Amino acid sequence: MTKIAVIGAGVIGLTCAVKIKETYKDLDVVLISSEFSPNTTGDGSGGLWLPYLCGSTPYNLIEKWGAETYRFLYEQWKTGGYGVCMLPLYYFYRTKEKFHTPEWARMVFGYHELDSKELEHYSKLFSGKYTAGQTFTTFVCSPPTLLTHFLQRFEQANGKVLQAKLTSLQDPLLAQYDVVVNCSGLGARFLVPDDRVVPLRGQVLRVIAPWINQVVIDEEGGNYIIPNAQTVVLGGTSQKDFNTEVDPKDTDFILNGCKRIMPGLERAEIVKRWVGLRPSRDAVRLEPEEKNGKLYIHNYGHGGSGFTLFWGCGEEVLQILQTYLNKNHKLYINSKL
């Protein structure tokens, strides 16, 4: 009987757990994690679809995983699922040379590079000196809603859940499993151990501002405004730091920068100040590794793009598992007995 353990109940691990258990209903799948929603990195994140801070992950992979996730969010939006909103996004640069047309431009709806007239208009509207920019239609999910629903989906499919902190990939708790799917995010730095995984500290505020219905990103200014279904996320920072305390200096930077872009935020009530550590890596690690008679499938290091790549990465994990089960036909057949 093939036994599978998925490590990590963040957006990456939950997606894999759901996909594997819903595909292989008769396999024994357990989700092992030290933290669950509302205490994962994704819970406080912007939930925005935008390839961002994902190192030098090859463009073709960003495009593939990103496109599958974009399509998934589109389908959810059509059916009103997971609090997914469809919104226009405006991304501005102050230095023209820093702007390059992204590879994924061809697969998002309504991609358009801003001309000089538009840049003049938005520079006045958002009080910035923008010399380049782009706009397209994107999706924003409500992260806690998505994470809670995914956990419910997994449990409804008879997946098992275990809260535990693993000491390494050789932890005795993993001994009985044939396949280990490692979605431990920043935890991979210690669990694997992989020192290429580093924290990228992000501080954000959540405010009530229902009149804001577009995403605005000032790349070089460092500020962004991301409306979710209930609140608006104001950001942000990206510092190589393990500090998870809210820093008043960062709060001032966020508030002043976002109010410069949208002065109306002066009237917005602040409902949350939050810090999360993005699991940053020079490139996302998504690959199989056969070791000590087990298959490990690593899926971590998504940086600032966990909610942009999760569904596509989950699909790739499923394909790796399928190939392995087909190769080890006996294992899977036995599991069906």
Ligand X SMILES: Cc1cc2nc3c(=O)[nH]c(=O)nc-3n(C[C@H](O)[C@H](O)[C@H](O)COP(=O)(O)OP(=O)(O)OC[C@H]3O[C@@H](n4cnc5c(N)ncnc54)[C@H](O)[C@@H]3O)c2cc1C
Residue ranges in contact with ligand X by CB under 6 A:
7-13, 32-35, 40-42, 45-48, 165-166, 183-187, 191, 202, 204, 226, 236, 276, 278-279, 300, 302-308
Q: How far apart are CA 185 and CA 95, in angstroms?
A: 33
Phi, psi of 253 (to 5 degrees): -60, -45
In the bound state with ligand X, the residue whose beta carbon lies nearer, of 110 and 193, is: 193
In the bound state with ligand X, the residue whose beta carbon lies nearer, of 65 and 122, is: 65
The distance of closest approach from Cβ of residue 38 to ligand X in the complex, given in angstroms and rounded to an integer, is 11
In the bound state with ligand X, the residue whose beta carbon lies nearer, of 41 and 76, is: 41
The distance of closest approach from Cβ of residue 131 to ligand X in the complex, given in angstroms and rounded to an integer, is 25
The distance of closest approach from Cβ of residue 119 to ligand X in the complex, given in angstroms and rounded to an integer, is 24
Which tokens sit at 104? Answer: 């994924």
Q: How far apart are CA 121 and CA 116, in angstroms?
A: 9
The distance of closest approach from Cβ of residue 97 to ligand X in the complex, given in angstroms and rounded to an integer, is 26
The distance of closest approach from Cβ of residue 122 to ligand X in the complex, given in angstroms and rounded to an integer, is 21
DSSP 93-130: ESSGGG----GGGGGSTT-EE--HHHHHHHHHHTT---
DSSP 199-257: EEEEEEEEEE-TT--SEEEETTTTEEEEE-SS-EEEE---BS----S--HHHHHHHHHH
Task: Give yes or no for a contact between 128 and 224, defined as CB atoms under 8 angstroms apart.
Answer: no
- Please state, in angstroms and as integers, the Cα–Cα distance from residue 35 to each residue in 158, 250, 331, following that order: 20, 26, 31
In the bound state with ligand X, the residue whose beta carbon lies nearer, of 85 and 119, is: 85
The distance of closest approach from Cβ of residue 208 to ligand X in the complex, given in angstroms and rounded to an integer, is 18
In the bound state with ligand X, the residue whose beta carbon lies nearer, of 227 and 325, is: 227
In the bound state with ligand X, the residue whose beta carbon lies nearer, of 11 and 268, is: 11
Q: How far apart are CA 198 and CA 277, in angstroms?
A: 9
The distance of closest approach from Cβ of residue 194 to ligand X in the complex, given in angstroms and rounded to an integer, is 12
- Please state, in angstroms and as integers, the Cα–Cα distance from residue 253 to each residue in 94, 196, 222, 223, 281, following that order: 18, 29, 9, 8, 26
The distance of closest approach from Cβ of residue 328 to ligand X in the complex, given in angstroms and rounded to an integer, is 26
In the bound state with ligand X, the residue whose beta carbon lies nearer, of 42 and 257, is: 42
Q: How far apart are CA 169 and CA 9, in angstroms?
A: 16
In the bound state with ligand X, the residue whose beta carbon lies nearer, of 119 and 147, is: 147
Q: How far apart are CA 135 and CA 150, in angstroms?
A: 30
Q: What is residue 268's DSSP assignment?
A: P
